A and B are shown apart, each in its own frame.
Chain A
Amino acid sequence: MTRYALRTAATGVLIIFGAATLVFFIMRAAPGDQALVLLGPDATAAEVAAARTRLGLDQPLPVQYWHYLTQLVTLDFGESYRFGQPAVELVLSRLPASVELTLTATVIAMAGVVLGALAGAYRGRWIDRGISGFALTLYSMPPFWIGIMLILVMALQLRLLPSAGVGTPAHIVLPALTLAAPFTALLTRITRSSVADTMAEPYVQRAYAKGLSTREVVTGHVVRNAATPVVTVGALHVSTLLGGAVIVESVFTWPGLGSLLVTAVTNRDYSIVQAAVLLIAVIVVCCNVAADLIAARLDPRVRLGAKA
């Protein structure tokens, strides 16, 4: 188990390094740079060149990359040229709002596990058809569209909930629902197929043959076996959730990491983009490492290194 945990953690570190490298080169490959955005379209060539020297953009790419990596180790991403503050501070100041939003959305999305388990246990019955249809509908709608519809109906027409900003607990309802929608649908679908597959396993039949009731069979044999794929796939899609947060935060002007990231990308604010993307990468990797460890706890074949 310890060896397994160490191996999983090492893979995680490698992935974070990869993400850091990718974001560095993608930002530089995108047309336009900080100097152009900062000075505007009227700037002369000499002014732009001067600004580039000041920002260190005139140096060869490998040198910039090396500089970036050495800073990275000390968690120093430099200052945001726009806000004049260290990027790490800015990003961390936005983190709590994002965590609040994504956690709320995750809790709402847990309804998908319950719905999916019900649908899977009663596969083919009307309850399964209803839940599956609901999940498919939810899954087909783009989150930003759900967001706009929610604003239209709940905020503008019914005037039940605020449509933007923060302040009261009511402010989180619409963005959290929007963010939770695709994740709920996803969890419903994974849980449904996982539970349905497990119910069809011969060991479940055998459990019935031992005289166990449906409740005892489900709690004793189905839940644990069906949980592994749900945990693994669910964690994989934490990135979907964070990606969704970027859009949802912009739609609802939620002061989180996502809206900061969108502004920073438009402004070519490299330090902020790099810090934010790296933070998101760390969160995603941590979630996946945690999921792998949970899966190993659930399934002795993973833990004890089975061949089959």
Chain B
Amino acid sequence: MSRMSKVTDQVAAELDPEPAPLLQVEHLSIDLPGPAGPVRVVDDVSFTVAAGRTTGLIGESGSGKTMTASAIIGLPPPGAAVTGRLLWHGDDMVTMAEQDRRRLRGRGIAMIFQDPQAALDPTQTIGRQVGEILRRGGMPAKEVRRTVIDLLDRVGIPDPQTRHAQYPHQYSGGLRQRAMVATALAGSPELILADEPTTALDVTVQARILALLRRVRDEEDTAMLLVSHDLRVMAHVADEVVVMYAGRICEVGSGREVLNSPAHPYTRALVVSVPAVRSRTAIAEPLPGSPASPAERPSGCPFHPRCAKAQDRCASEVPRMRQVAAGRQVACHFPEET
């Protein structure tokens, strides 16, 4: 990047001051206790989630995406050491008092879990679980009931008058996930973390839940951090994407650009490994090798053992994040032309 354009960017920023971002993740690292000492499962991760926007966190299993989400909601696994900063409207949640942190959960930041079957309490009615946060907030019972029925209606649960008094096992998988979305919406959060919200669902149901999430984003003006390994999900919903590999970020950019012309070889490999349904000729190219384990992270660029373009330098030197286009950052010594 030339010095000239940097100056223009600065001028532009001063002329059109953007509001402070909703969530800034700065140099987030997470260490988990392992049999041979702590393992760094998230390593120096930084990205921003803007209000009302949907950010996708892409990665294979073990990439640290779910761990990053658990740190943001403030519920990392026991023994995890979280360092770095998580700025919520500028306030650091890592150093925040647990009580203030708890107040944010559910109301500031809500979470949708992967398996709606397991994430709903089997002994309580759906209505009770959706309304739990409202009841705790001191809303009168009648109003809670009305709000819950309205919420269930908004997420597309048919016959909410009857359905709110039913138990999770009386719901189908898709309806359960809708109920989860309603639970998340109940606290009117500014940010919804959705951890693989469609993975446990049938394909046809997935499409409907995605449509629902998109509608929620548009109608409720809620920001969303969508964690998924599924690029098709990302292509549908994400405004920005963050691609993670072995606990590090390898590419950041707008969803369309990153998925259409990936700059990092890993992103590219992910994109071409998605099978095309319509044509038989475009057989997916599976990514060779298995994902690097954070416990045995390769030296240099963690992706180099699986990378077709890897050179000597990739094995010795960790690539830094650098800007390749406006709003586009890549951690690669030899990025693809975009």
Interface residues of A (CB under 8 A from B): 201-203, 205-213, 216, 220-221, 224-225, 298-301, 304, 306, 308
Contact = CB atoms under 8 A, between A and B. Distances in A.
Contact of A210 (B118, B122, B132, B167): B132
B261 interface: no
B133 A298 contact: no
B123 A210 contact: no
B133 A308 contact: no
**Chain A contact surface mostly:** helix
B111 A209 contact: yes
Contact of B106 (A201, A202, A210, A298): A210
B56 to A, nearest CB: 20
Given A210-B106, A211-B107, A224 B113 contact: no
Nearest to B109: A209
- Most chain A beta carbons < 10 A, residue from B103, B106, B120: B106
A209 B123 contact: no
Nearest to B133: A210
Nearest to B137: A211
A293 to B, nearest CB: 16
Contacts of A201: 118
B270 interface: no
Contact of A301 (B103, B136, B167, B183): B167
Contacts of B120: 203, 206
A304 B170 contact: yes
Given A202-B115, A210-B106, A211-B103, A216 B121 contact: no
Given A202-B113, A205-B113, A216-B136, A221 B121 contact: yes
A208 B104 CA distance: 11
A90 to B, nearest CB: 45
A208 B105 contact: yes
Contacts of A304: 167, 169-170
A209 B192 CA distance: 11
Interface of B: 73, 75, 102-107, 110-111, 113, 115, 118-124, 132-133, 136, 167, 169-170, 183, 187
A192 B247 CA distance: 35
Nearest to B103: A211
A203 B102 contact: no
Contacts of B113: 202, 205-206, 209
A289 to B, nearest CB: 21
B123 A211 contact: no
Contacts of B110: 209-210
Contacts of B104: 211
A299 B167 CA distance: 10
A254 to B, nearest CB: 40
Contact of B121 (A207, A209, A211, A308): A207
B122 A225 contact: yes
A220 B105 CA distance: 17
A209 B75 CA distance: 7
A287 B200 CA distance: 40
A208 B169 contact: no
Given A203-B120, A225-B123, A298-B123, 17 more contacts: A202-B119, A203-B118, A203-B119, A206-B119, A206-B120, A207-B132, A210-B106, A210-B133, A210-B187, A211-B103, A211-B133, A212-B102, A212-B136, A220-B132, A224-B123, A225-B122, A300-B167
Contacts of A212: 102, 106, 132, 136
Nearest to A124: B78
29 contacts: A202-B113, A202-B115, A202-B119, A203-B120, A203-B122, A205-B75, A205-B113, A205-B119, A206-B119, A209-B75, A209-B110, A209-B111, A209-B113, A210-B133, A210-B187, A211-B104, A211-B105, A212-B102, A212-B106, A212-B132, A224-B123, A225-B121, A225-B122, A225-B123, A299-B122, A300-B123, A301-B167, A301-B169, A304-B167
Nearest to B121: A203
A209 B70 CA distance: 9
Contacts of B119: 202-203, 205-206
A209 B106 contact: yes
Nearest to A225: B123
A301 B132 contact: no
B183 A210 contact: yes
Contacts of A213: 102
A306 B169 contact: yes
Contacts of A203: 118-122
A205 B115 CA distance: 12
A92 B285 CA distance: 80
- The 4 residue pairs across chains A and B that have the minimum distance between CB atoms: A211-B106, A211-B105, A210-B106, A202-B118
Contact of A206 (B102, B111, B167): B111
Nearest to B77: A205
A220 B104 CA distance: 20
- Most chain B beta carbons < 10 A, residue from A202, A212, A213: A202
Contacts of A208: 75, 105
A209 B169 contact: no
A209 B123 CA distance: 18
Nearest to B170: A304
A49 B292 CA distance: 87
A273 B183 CA distance: 59
B81 to A, nearest CB: 17
Contacts of A225: 121-123
Contact of B73 (A202, A209, A299, A300): A209
A306 B172 CA distance: 12
Contacts of A300: 122-123, 167, 169
